[in-house]
Amino acid sequence: MLLLGSYFFYAQWNLYYLGLIIFSSLLDFSLGRMIHREQDKARRRLYLICSLVGNLGVLALFKYFNFFSSSVQALLAATGLEVATPTLQVLLPVGISFYTFQTLSYTIDIYRGKLTSTNSLLDFSLFVGFFPQLVAGPIVRASDFLPQLEKQPVYDDDKAVEGIYLILKGLTKKIIIADFLGRWLVEAVFEDPSAYHGLRVLIGVYAYAFQIYGDFSGYTDVAIGSAKMMGFELPINFNRPYIATDLQDFWRRWHISLSTWLRDYLYIPLGGSRGSNTRTYANLLITMVLGGLWHGANWTFVVWGTLHGGALAITRMVQRSGLVPAGELPQWADTAVLTLKRIATFHLVCLGWVFFRSPTFGQATDLLRSLTTGGKMGMDHPYSVGAVGLLVLAILAHITPKEWDGAFARAFARAPAFVEAVIVVFAIALFSLFSDRGTPFIYFQF
C-alpha cells in the first residue's frame, strides 16, 4: 500500500518520470544481489561500475547535458568558433538527485561489505520511492531504512503525536516564515539590487538565509513527521546551522544527510585527510565543487561549492598549522571568541547564498556591489516592515537553546486530545491565511 501510494504521489507531478524511479529500483536491486553473491573481485567491481554508470548516466542526461552542452558552445564561441551544440527539451525529474544518491549508497555499501543485499524487491522499491522524503530528502541509507521494513510497523500514539508536532512545525517554517520572507524581503532585492539601499540589500540577504533554512528544514520536518506517524524513523537533517563556529561545523549541521553522504562516498574514497596537507585541501575542494554541482547545473553553484571548499581547506589549514593558541581562555573571552566566530561563519555562509540564489554570476556580483550603494529602502509596504520583525523572531528562535523545542514538543504531547485538536485546527487556519501566494519548496529543483 505504501509503495503504490508513493508511486501515485510522484505520478501526480509526472507519470512518465515515475519510470525513472522504477528503473533505478530494478537496476540497483538486481546489481546489489549480483555484487553480494559474486566472489570474483573483478566482476564485483564491474557490477558496481554498472550501477554507477546507470544511475549517474541518467542523472547526467536529465540534469547536466544542457549545462555542459551550452558551456562547450560558449567556450568554442570564445575561441571564434560558432557551433550550435545540441540541447534536450526535457523537464528535470523532481527528486532525481536524492533518490539517485540513495540507490548508489546501497550498491556501494554492499560492494564494501558493509551491507547485505535484500531479497525483497518490494522492500527495496519502497526504500527508493518512500513518499515523505522522495522529492527533497533527507537522503536515507538502506542500512537505516531496510531493517525497519523487515518488521511490521506498529502504530504508536506517542510517535504519531510527535509526528503531528513536526508537521506543524515544518509548515510554520515554510508557509509563515520562509514564504513570507521570500515575498516581502528577498525577491525584490535579488531581482534588482541596484534599486535599493545597501542596508536593504543586506536585510534581503539575511532574509534569504532564513528563507532557505525555513523552506528546506521545514520540508524535512514534514517528511520526518509523516514517517513517524506511520512508524518509520528518518535521519535528522538540520541542527541549528547558523550557530556554527566555522564552515566545518556548519556542514555538520546543514543538510546533514548530504554532507555525510559526500564525506563517506566521495571525500574519504578520494583519500580524505590521510594524505599530505595539499592532498587533503584538494579533496575538500573537489568534494564541495561536486557538491555544488549536485545542487544545480549552473556555474553559480560551482562558485558556491568552490567558496565552501576553499573555506573548508583554509579552516583545516589553520587547524593543522598550530596558529590557534592552545589552553583555556577566561570564560568571558571564550564566549566573545565563539560569538565572533559564529558571526563570521554566518556572513561567510550568506556570501555563498548570494551565488546560490542568483541565476547568473553577473547578478550575484551586482548584488554584492549594491551592498555599498545608496537607494530606496523599499519598506513602504506594511508587510515589508512586518517581515523584518518576522526575520528578527526567526533569528531569535534559531539561537534559543535546543531544549526549548523539546519542551514545546513534550507540552504538545502531554496536552489533552481536545487541546491538540484545537491547536491543529488553528494552525490550519493560520496556514490558509498566509498561503495566498505559496511557492514550491526550493529544493524541489534539485
Active site residues: 295
* Residue 153: all three cell numbers together: 510497523
Residue 376, helix vs strand vs coil: strand
Residues sharing a CB contact under 8 Å with residue 362, sequence separation 6 or more, in sequence order: none
CB atoms near residue 441 (< 10 Å): 18
CA 377 to chain CA centroid, Å, is 31
Confirm if 309 and 294 have CB atoms less than 8 A apart: no
Q: Max Cα separation, the chain?
A: 73
- By the 10 Å C-beta count (0-12 exposed, 13-18 middle, 19+ buried), 420 is classed as middle
| CA gap 35, 276 in Å, rounded | 33
What is the CA angle 172-174-179, rounded to 5?
Answer: 115
User: Quick one: the chain helix, strand, coil %, rounded to 5?
Assistant: 75, 0, 25
CA nearest to 163, candidates 382, 354, 412, 402: 412
Place of cell 546507470: 54
Q: What DSSP character marks residue 415?
A: S
Please provide residue 196's backbone torsions phi and psi, each rounded to the nearest 5 degrees.
-120, 160
| CA gap 238, 138 in Å, rounded | 10
Q: How far apart are the first and last CA of the chain?
A: 27
